Amino acid sequence: VTDRLLPRRVFRRTCPELLNDGCTPAGTPVTLQLLGGVPEIVAINAQRAVEMGAKGIDINFGCPSKFVNRKAGGAILLKEPQRVQQIVAAVREVVPDNIPFSAKVRLGYDDTSLTLENAHAVEAGGADSIVVHGRTKKEGYRPPADWQWIARIRASLTIPVVANGDINSLDDYLRCREISGCDDVMIGRGVVINPGLVQQIRRFQTGTGHTRLTWRSIVPLIETMLLDGITAGVAGRHIVSRLKQWLRYLKSHYHEAQQLFDNIRTLNDPHQVQRLLYE
């Protein structure tokens, strides 16, 4: 949350890709996301991010975290559409036109009474696009995401609308595009649940096949996660704890994830876990 101008070291720690010209090691441009409720403060942080190499700026008006909301950031701002517009406008003034600038929202805080007003506030403020998570803050992450509401937003705006929420498979992606009429999608937990989903969608779009990754392809990703944690000096028990969390997501698409979880349930050593991966 930006309650002041953050030091450059904070940007680098939070977004190490800034040390690589704003791109991942694979060359993918990274959009830096900011939260905050004071237009001028959010704007100067956005300006600094761009100066440091961020390839895009996004303002998060959707975060449901109580900590963030208490700091006047995230979804709490959806109660004040005028303030949303002021924040977007302040950031628009300092972000060059060649840098993609978006805002992410939910359908509202407690309900959908201000949904369209908030969407229009984002557009009026000058954002290039809007990302819509199809739930209110009160609904959290309970399924289903309301893609039909996203369609109503799409029909009322002229800027591109990006749909978010409950896109966990290729079928979900296709249904979301059809129902919402969105210009694109943002996928978060879906790629944790189904790591090959983006690749699967791309292959479908290009007609080059669209089968999902096999478990055999997932195992090396798990091993990379373990090794990266070890290399970074993360405590072993924390590495394994994160893996167990990931396996809980994976098991909805891969039954082998449950078996691996059962095998490592009592383990805290990533080296021991690594040895079990290929058994």
Q: 104-123: buried (b, 16+ CB within 10 Å) or exposed (e) per residue? A: bbbbbbeebebbbebbbbbb
Active site annotation includes 63: yes
Tokens of 85: 């517009």
**Is the CB of residue 35 less than 8 Å from the CB of residue 2?**
yes
Q: What angle do CA 260, 262, 265 make, to 5 degrees?
A: 105
Residue 221 DSSP label = H
Q: How far is CA 58 from the centre of its chain?
A: 10
**Catalytic one of 15, 63, 176, 182:** 63
Task: Work out the angle between the directed axes of helices 215-231 and 255-264 (0-180°, nearest 10).
Answer: 40
163 close to 134: Cβ distance less than 8 angstroms:
yes
Catalytic residue list = 63
